[in-house]
Structure 1
Amino acid sequence: MGPPILALNSRTSHANSPDVYPSQMNSSVASNRLFASVSMEENKQKPIDFLRILFEGIIAGGTAGVVVETALYPIDTIKTRLQAAHGGAKIHWKGLYSGLAGNLAGVLPASALFVGVYEPAKQKLLTMFPENLSAFAHLSAGAIGGLAASLIRVPTEVVKQKMQTGQFSSAPDAVRLILSKEGSKGLFAGYGSFLLRDLPFDAIQFCIYEQMRIGYKTAAKRDLTDPENAVIGAFAGAVTGAITTPLDVLKTRLMVQGNQYNGIINCAQTILREEGPAAFLKGIGPRVLWIGIGGSIFFGVLERTKLLLSEQRSKSESLKEE
């Protein structure tokens, strides 16, 4: 899941930076733009290396995804149990790491696929949209990446949440029994609600993150530090997490208790009728905390990994030239 290292202008840009601000750009011009903007003029002069961007995105995305999931899994488990509980049902605090191993088996390829698709899609879209509408390129790329990753994310999420709520003791058992009772469609329970939540989430989170980084770099006139990337990632994650909590509640109910509802609309109507509007904000505290901290770690690790890959590539290219 991640944006590239952006350079501010011709004096501060790196040779490998995929997005470069024009050197004549100043704060007064930038302030008149509807969105933070990037210039792709240099990139238009040479073809985008999609295979390299894909490869580096896969490595960086997979690394960041595994680190975040391992560190914050207990918070996610608490959030899931809060959302799945009806009325005043008690929450169990044991087994907060239930399903982690199986979930990592899905998180690694899903995160890798997301960033691997997001990065080249973003680069292509940035050449298609006007400079002052770069936000739409980030929104669209986030949705495209999320759609691709959903093919892995949904089965992983179904198994994880059933284990978090105590329905199964191991991932292999969960997959086997789900397939035997419900068939392959059981692994994609709540797929529609998952897309309803995750496509807007991915699009909004990455748009906020990318635009804030561009704006911050324009003001600071330098590359951002790891802590700065982490803070921006935390803010983008927390805001997006809060906004999409109602969608997350619907997704959780359909995945964990899908047989009790007849689709997304029926699920929403049932929750509203039986539990009231407040039920749609269940788990908002753990969710915002989890995604806020997760965004900090994810984007921090992502940017650092991408920078290391870029530096390694530069060294290799220098050795070849010698």
Structure 2
Amino acid sequence: MPELLEHDYEALPENSSLTANLIAGALAGIGEHAIMYPIDSIKTRMQIINPTPQAVYTGVANAFSRIYTTEGARTLWRGVNSVVLGAGPAHALYFGTYEMCKDLFGANQGEGHHPIAHGVAGACATIASDALMNPFDVIKQRMQVHGSIYKNVLECARTVYAREGMIAFYVSYPTTLTMTIPFQMVQFSSYEYFRKVLNPKGTYDPKTHMIAGGLAGAIAAAATTPLDVVKTLLQTRGNSSDIRVRNCNGLIEAFRIIYEKDGVKGFVRGIRPRVLSHMPSTAICWSVYEYFKWFITKHDRNKLPDKLHLSH
């Protein structure tokens, strides 16, 4: 009697298009950034060089309490529209590139772990997506800082462009890549490793994706915090009252400013809120992505030829 074979949803059916990954990636990106946005706002403020006295915080809880009581809950969500606008298309490009490169580099072939293939695929994905997302990230951080005068995303974009030119939106791009390429290589390799260890059969399992995503996000976030501090300095330089910071235009100079100001400890500023935001957000991102990939391709799997469903 013929029996139904399991089809691994991770290996997309031949009749499935790239659209599945693009839609799943877009929804995952919006969910990831929007849900954990207040923690990201706190992280940004804790990384600012020479903050105003009102914006000096002793920890995540202290920052949350002071912002909430003195500026209102809405302040924690300032700039979220920029993330929502950019995260959808950027993450669609991100996951679409990842799946395409993962297949190209042979990560879907055979059994076992392929950390190098997954890592390189993740690097390719982040180069593409960061080129699209970087301007939105600059706007987001300009609106997150204490005392931000911008009323909305459009006003912020216009003002930054008028005062600093297009370079302001991409001055941090090399630093962003320097950070996100190792971040994504660590994240993707860790995620695929934990996913396969926890779920060797490769079937859809929400708990596995949540745990693997959370662990991968925490590890990658902690490892790349120093570069994130540098990125924050470059992206918020226009808001600084320090002339040297305002004129900073590169990775090396930003490193030097941070080290001279706070020493080695300056490079771990904001590590707690960064890990606290990336651990659940990465878990959410992968969970949403895997769910929608499974959901969208479910229709395609049902249309597979009978020879793939049946064994004799």
- Is the TM-score greater than 0.5? yes
The match for 1:210 among 166, 184, 192 is 192
Identical-residue share of aligned pairs (%): 30
CA deviations 1:128-147 (Å, max 9, x no partner) are 99976711110000000000
Task: Report the Cα distance in structure 1 between the residues aligned to 2:223 and 2:165, rounded to whole angstroms.
Answer: 33
Q: Which residue of 1 aligns with 2:34?
A: 70
Shift of 1:90: 3.5
- What are structure 1's unaligned runs of at least 5 residues? 1-10, 20-47
Q: In 2 relative to 1, CA 17–255 (structure 1 residues): closer, same or farther, beyond 3 Å?
A: closer
Q: In 2 relative to 1, CA 233–262 (structure 1 residues): closer, same or farther, beyond 3 Å?
A: same
Q: Which residue of 2 aligns with 1:84?
A: 48
Question: Within 5 A, what are the aligned runs for 1:125-164?
Answer: 125-126=105-106, 134-164=114-144
Shift of 1:269: 1.2
Shift of 1:215: 2.4
Question: Within 5 A, what are the aligned runs for 1:16-35?
Answer: 16-18=9-11
C-alpha contact 1:53 1:119 (8 A) present in aligned 2: no
Cα-Cα RMSD: 2.7
Shift of 1:86: 2.3
CA deviations 1:287-315 (Å, max 9, x no partner) are 00000010111111111111101212223
Question: Within 5 A, what are the aligned runs for 1:47-126?
Answer: 52-86=16-50, 89-91=53-55, 93=67, 94=71, 95-126=75-106
2:171 is aligned with what amino acid? A
CA deviations 1:23-49 (Å, max 9, x no partner) are xxxxxxxxxxxxxxxxxxxxxxxxx85
CA deviations 1:36-77 (Å, max 9, x no partner) are xxxxxxxxxxxx85x945211111110111112221110000
Task: Report the Cα distance in structure 1 between the residues aligned to 2:88 and 2:205, rounded to whole angstroms.
Answer: 26
Structure 1 runs of 4+ with >6 Å offset? 127-133
CA deviations 1:270-292 (Å, max 9, x no partner) are 11111121111111110000000
In the superposition, the TM-score normalised over structure 1's length comes to: 0.79
Question: Structure with the greater relative contact order (CA < 8 A, sep ≥ 6): 1 or 2?
Answer: 2
Matched, 1:171 2:158: no
C-alpha contact 2:107 2:114 (8 A) present in aligned 1: no
Task: Report the Cα distance in structure 2 between the residues aligned to 1:317 and 1:130, rounded to whole angstroms.
Answer: 21
Q: Which residue of 1 aligns with 2:166?
A: 184
Q: Which residue of 1 aligns with 2:253?
A: 266
Q: In 2 relative to 1, CA 222–272 (structure 1 residues): closer, same or farther, beyond 3 Å?
A: closer
Shift of 1:190: 1.0
Matched position secondary structure for 1:86: coil
Task: Report the Cα distance in structure 2 between the residues aligned to 1:222 and 1:265, rounded to whole angstroms.
Answer: 43
1:250 is aligned with what amino acid? V
2:206 is aligned with what amino acid? D
In the superposition, the TM-score normalised over structure 2's length comes to: 0.82
C-alpha contact 2:212 2:283 (8 A) present in aligned 1: yes
Shift of 1:175: 1.1
C-alpha contact 2:198 2:208 (8 A) present in aligned 1: no
C-alpha contact 1:53 1:120 (8 A) present in aligned 2: no
C-alpha contact 1:238 1:288 (8 A) present in aligned 2: yes
Question: Within 5 A, what are the aligned runs for 1:202-241?
Answer: 202-218=184-200, 221=201, 223=203, 225-241=205-221
Task: Report the Cα distance in structure 2 between the residues aligned to 1:295 and 1:312, rounded to whole angstroms.
Answer: 26
